[in-house]
Structure formats: structure tokens, C-alpha cells
Amino acid sequence: MDGLENALIDEVNSRMNFYEYKYNVKILFWALRSSVNLGIVRRNSDLDIMFAYKNLNPFVCSGIHDILGHGLDLWGIDIEDIIKTISVNNQILYEAKDSTYSLWTISQQHVRGGCNYYFGIYSVLGTEYMYPTTSFIADTSEYFMMMFEKKIVIKQMLILIGKVVNEIKIYEQVSLYDYIYTMWRILLCHNLIDGGIPGENNIEFLKGRYLSEELLNVMDKYQFIYKETYSKTSTCFPIPKLNNFITDEYYKIKQIDRLLLPEKKKETLFAERIIKTYLE
């Protein structure tokens, strides 16, 4: 495994060097932004690699997408777009009434590449799967954390959990993929509510912290089945215990979210200015 891991790192670093030459950008970091981070893997899971870059030319490169062989999907995002996504969502949160807040993204391409509030920098910040190519992350991570509003991530997750709850109400079942990822989203929300940091997103850590022994056994069983599947959505059957847990926790988290207040209003603009000084 170590040899394979080192070979992968070498291959991705080689591609980063190629992108710098081809697009006239400076790669700041790259990271695995995929099921590997979360500990949710199936037989043919691909690897989504997200990287952030700074444009060095006036002809702005708004995004880079590359596929290497089978299962290695690379998405590059301009660091200015990542900062903008965080900053704009924060400002919308501060200005909107709780019931009118909605998530903001630059474009659908940015969403596919991981540039939304959580699945951009915050899903990999502090994980073992981030690979800095400059000192940018070391110099700025504390300022990104100063801009982190957990309420936005919880809202982002509630939207996705709510869709699954509606399907459970109608069909009494969802795909195994939806069961496992919805459980992960619920546990992530609880960890953030309890003061956890964004990088604490591995499902094994979250399960151990928040699930009863009975539900742990249920999750272990179905994660094993999921691990052997080849398709995200082909395996579908009812799991009553998870149906009940998902539905109950959805409404609990919604109620908690209504009581949560923004935390970083004073720090956001200051932190954004500091981060941008590192890009000048």
C-alpha cells in the first residue's frame, strides 16, 4: 500500500507541474476530496483530487478538469473563487433571515469541482490527505478557520438529508449509497454542533462518537455490503432502523439549526484580507 500511495503522490505531483506549465498557474495545494477521506469506499470508487491554484496571467483560467485513466478525476479551482465562495456565503448568512438563507455557488462547474462551501477547502483542511505544494496552507489555515461558519455547512447537509427523508416517506427505502452518506451527513452535523472541526469527517470516527452499539452493528453490516458493490444506486432495499434514525435526527438537527447563531461575523472580513495578502 505504501508503494502504491507513493506512486500516486508522484503521479499527481507530476500532473501539478504540467498544469503549472500549461495554464500558467501556481498550484498551492492538492488533496484527495473523495470517499477515501470519508472512509466510505466501494470496489470501483474513483479518486477525486481537488487542487487550488493562483492565476499568474491576465487571461484567467477559471477551472481545470482532467481524468487520468480509470478512476482518477482531477479538479482545479482558482483560489480566488474558493475565497469568494466562502466570503459570499458568510455575508448572505449575516444579512438574511434564517428562513430565507440559501447556499450560493459560482457555477455548476464549480459545484462539480468541489467549490461549494464545505466540499472545497473545508472538507480537506486538516486531513491527512492534503498535500501542500507551497506554504500557503500553513500560512493561512488559521484564517480560513476564522471564516468558518458551521451553520452554513449544517444547512448544506440538511438540504441533502431532507431529500432522503422525503424518499423514505414515499418509498420506505433509498439506495444503499444514500443510506450511508445520509448517516455520514447526520453524524458530521452533530460533530460540528459539538464544536468539531471540518477535517473530522471520517465516518469511523463519527460512528464511534455518536452511534449506539446497535446502530454501529447495522452500519458495519451495510457498509460491508456497500464496499462490495460496483454502482452507487443499484443496491436498494429498506432498512427500517436507519429509516427511523435518519428521520428523527433530521428534525432534531433542523431544530438545533434554528437556534444556532452565526459566529464569525466580526472575523470574516479581517481574515479574508489577511488571506489575500498571501496571494499578492
pLDDT digits (tens, 9 = 90+) for 72-81: 889 999 999 9
Rounded to whole angstroms, how far apart are CA atoms 261 and 44? Answer: 41
When pLDDT is averaged across residues 22-47 and rounded to a whole number, the result is 86
The parent domain of residue 202 ranges over 152-259
Give the pLDDT confidence of 227-267 residue by residue, as tens digits: 887 676 767 889 999 999 999 999 999 999 999 998 888 89
231 and 188 in a common domain? yes
∠ CA(256), CA(254), CA(257), 5° rounding?
A: 40
Give the DSSP letter string of 20-59.
Answer: HHHHTEEEEEEEE-SHHHHT---TT--EEEEEEEEE-SSS
Q: Percentage of residues in the chain with pLDDT exceeding 90?
A: 63
229 and 113 in a common domain? no
Confidence of residue 3 (pLDDT cuts 50, 70, 90): very low
48 and 87 in a common domain? yes
- Total number of domains in the chain: 2
15 and 139 in a common domain? yes
When pLDDT is averaged across residues 193-220 and rounded to a whole number, the result is 94
| pLDDT over 70 at 45, yes or no | yes
Specify the higher pLDDT residue, 5 or 150: 150
33 and 124 in a common domain? yes
- Predicted confidence at residue 72, as pLDDT, reads 84
12 and 35 in a common domain? yes
107 and 162 in a common domain? no
- Predicted confidence at residue 137, as pLDDT, reads 92
89 and 34 in a common domain? yes
- Predicted confidence at residue 18, as pLDDT, reads 96
- Predicted confidence at residue 70, as pLDDT, reads 61
| pLDDT over 90 at 21, yes or no | yes
179 and 95 in a common domain? no
| pLDDT over 60 at 127, yes or no | yes
- Predicted confidence at residue 1, as pLDDT, reads 36
Q: Any idea which residue has 477551472 for its cell? A: 63
Classify 72 as helix, strand or coil.
Answer: strand
111 and 192 in a common domain? no
